[in-house]
Amino acid sequence: MGALLNIVLVIQMIVAIVMVGLILIQQGKGADMGAAFGSGSSGSLFGASGGANFMSRTTGILAAVFFVCTLVLAYFGNLKPVATGSVLDSAAPAVTLPAVNTSTPAAPATGAAQIPTK
């Protein structure tokens, strides 16, 4: 179970890093206006439409994988073993104090003020 959680956690971290990088290299919606007026970026690697469809779909898939990994980690993180027995069985043991010897009287404190008697 621990190995499975580690694998899901590694997948989630890799997907998060790739998704952040992919989002940062995408163009905004306002960048399409520049391409319409002959900015020159319309003739890119992915064709005239740019990488919008490819990058948008990839981002959506990565977001879905990230969401599923998050749900799996949350589900397995909240699993608790089913307790058997009483609540008192799992309580902390009682603390026992050492016995106090009350047979000898306590000695008076040294340096205490003595009241003179006549």
List alpha helices for the chain, DSSP H: 2-25, 31-36, 52-77
What are 3-21's pLDDT values in tens digits? 888 999 999 999 999 999 9
pLDDT at residue 22, as a whole number: 92
Q: Which two tokens stand for residue 107?
A: 């000695």
pLDDT at residue 48, as a whole number: 56
Let me know if 15 is exposed, middle or buried by CB neighbors in 10 A (0-12, 13-18, 19+).
buried
What are 84-108's pLDDT values in tens digits? 767 676 676 767 777 777 776 666 6
